[in-house]
């Protein structure tokens, strides 16, 4: 198989600023990998994440170097094995899944022995802001069954209460994005115990979460930044009850599927999560989401304009892309 890799970086405008405890973004910065075998083309997309030392230019350059190795005759399996887990490997791995489906006429579902994913309830994110702004944002999506509430250490109780006031029937994911201390986490315990909170995601910094070991808390604790690949799962199993699997952390669909299986074997719940991205990123992740306990794949919902034929989110339900969009 003689493969050609084309790479492009894109900045996709958001329909509203996206704020978390670490900052704010107005665009999704993505890198698209197009892997071609003659006229047959497979696509993958990744989101470089500064939290992990990745940049748009750096990931694009890493993938460009991959193209050089492919042209020199290096097998793609060896190229993938040499890439570290992260955004670049994710784009290439997903592009290969798509390409193989189109080359062979066997869809990803046929290769996995699974039916195509159907509509899946997904969390809709309430961006961090003042309580009044978060109340208004929650009111606009109050029909969604699951809301992810971004919080930091500044008036988290007031912000959470504002969201609940606007959307009293929604289940909640509380997500401080490493922005709390143990003291804040424990101070929030009583309020969280009285609300329909299904998990608290990465409350403490990933490199300072040892205080979570054996902690009994009113809602399950979910590892995000603390877990990237299968190799991390045993280390976090005593500190968290769930793990957030993201393709950009795991390095692609291949590792994400293996990671979900390993998490289950360790008794951990699974959430399928994403960065702010387009539907090219989300389509592969539907295969993880279909087996997950919770889904947080509203990345394209934040875009001013998604890819033609991509996923859509309506009333908190994620609908798969049109037939042929990705994966056969």
- Mean pLDDT value across residues 143-158: 97
- Mean pLDDT value across residues 284-311: 96
Smallest Cα–Cα separation from 235: which of 192, 257, 268?
268
Written as one string, the DSSP assignment of 240-252 is: -SEEEE-HHHHTS
Element spanning 124, H or E: strand 124-126
Are 86 and 27 in a shared domain? yes
Strands 197-201 and 312-314: unpaired
At residue 244's C-alpha, the angle toward residues 175 and 17, to 5°, is 45
Please list the alpha-helical segments (H only) found in 169-228.
182-187, 189-193
List 124's β-bridge partners, or say none: 147
- Whether residue 138 has pLDDT greater than 80: yes
* CATH number of domain containing 103: 3.30.390.10
Domain of residue 31 covers: 4-112
- Mean pLDDT value across residues 305-315: 96
Are 292 and 217 in a shared domain? yes
| pTM of the model as a whole | 0.95
Q: Is residue 324 part of a domain?
A: no
Last residue in a domain, options 112, 133, 157: 112
Q: Distance (Å, rounded) from C-alpha 165 to C-alpha 38?
A: 56
* Number of domains present in the structure of the chain: 2
Q: State the burial class of residue 314 (Cβ atoms within 10 Å of its Cβ: 0-12, 13-18, 19+).
A: exposed
Are 166 and 250 in a shared domain? yes
Give percent of the chain with pLDDT exceeding 70: 100
Neighbours of 282 (CB within 10 A): 29
Please measure the distance between the N-terminal and C-terminal CA atoms of the chain and give it in whole angstroms.
19
Query: What pLDDT, on the 0 to 100 scale, is given for residue 1?
Result: 60
pLDDT one-digit tens code per residue, 192-242: 999 999 999 999 999 999 999 999 999 999 999 999 999 999 999 999 999
Query: What pLDDT, on the 0 to 100 scale, is given for residue 241?
Result: 98
- Mean pLDDT value across residues 257-278: 97
Active site residues: 150, 246
Query: What pLDDT, on the 0 to 100 scale, is given for residue 200?
Result: 98
Query: What pLDDT, on the 0 to 100 scale, is given for residue 25?
Result: 87
Q: Whole-number mean pLDDT of the chain? A: 96
- Whether residue 3 has pLDDT greater than 80: yes
Query: What pLDDT, on the 0 to 100 scale, is given for residue 117?
Result: 94
Q: Distance (Å, rounded) from C-alpha 243 to C-alpha 228?
A: 9
Q: Is residue 328 part of a domain?
A: no
Smallest Cα–Cα separation from 101: which of 325, 320, 281, 274?
325
CA distances to 121, 123, 225, 251 from 268, rounded to whole Å, are 20, 19, 16, 20
Are 107 and 192 in a shared domain? no
Neighbours of 132 (CB within 10 A): 11
Query: What pLDDT, on the 0 to 100 scale, is given for residue 19?
Result: 82
- Whether residue 7 has pLDDT greater than 80: yes
């Amino acid at each position: 198989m003689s493969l050609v890799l084309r790479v492009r970086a894109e900045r996709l405008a958001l329909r509203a600023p996206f704020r978390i405890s670490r900052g704010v973004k107005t665009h999704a910065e993505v890198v698209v990998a197009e892997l071609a075998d003659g006229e047959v083309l497979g696509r993958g997309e990744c989101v470089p994440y500064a939290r992990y030392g990745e940049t748009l230019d750096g990931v694009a350059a890493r993938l460009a170097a991959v193209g050089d190795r492919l042209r020199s005759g290096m097998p793609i399996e060896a190229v993938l094995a040499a890439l570290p887990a992260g955004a670049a490997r994710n784009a290439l791995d997903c592009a290969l899944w798509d390409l193989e489906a189109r080359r062979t006429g066997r869809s990803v579902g046929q290769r996995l022995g699974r039916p195509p994913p159907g509509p899946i309830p997904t969390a809709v994110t309430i961006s961090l802001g003042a309580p009044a702004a978060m109340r208004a944002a929650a009111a606009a999506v109050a029909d969604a069954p699951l809301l992810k509430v971004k919080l930091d250490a500044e008036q988290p109780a007031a912000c959470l209460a504002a969201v609940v006031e606007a959307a009293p029937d929604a289940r909640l994911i509380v997500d401080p994005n490493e922005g709390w201390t143990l003291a804040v986490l424990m101070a929030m315990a009583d309020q969280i115990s009285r609300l329909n909170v299904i998990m608290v995601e990465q409350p403490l910094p990933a490199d300072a979460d040892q205080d979570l070991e054996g902690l009994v808390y009113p809602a399950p604790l979910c590892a995000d930044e603390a877990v990237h690949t299968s190799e991390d799962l045993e280390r976090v199993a005593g500190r968290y009850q769930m793990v957030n699997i993201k393709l950009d952390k795991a390095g692609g669909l291949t590792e994400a599927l293996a990671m979900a299986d390993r998490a289950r074997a360790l008794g951990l719940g699974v959430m399928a999560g994403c960065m702010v991205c387009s539907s090219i990123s989300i389509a592969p992740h539907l295969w993880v989401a279909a087996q997950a306990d919770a889904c947080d794949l509203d990345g394209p919902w934040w875009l001013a304009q998604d890819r033609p034929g991509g996923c859509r989110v309506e009333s908190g339900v994620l609908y798969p892309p049109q037939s042929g969009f990705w994966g056969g």
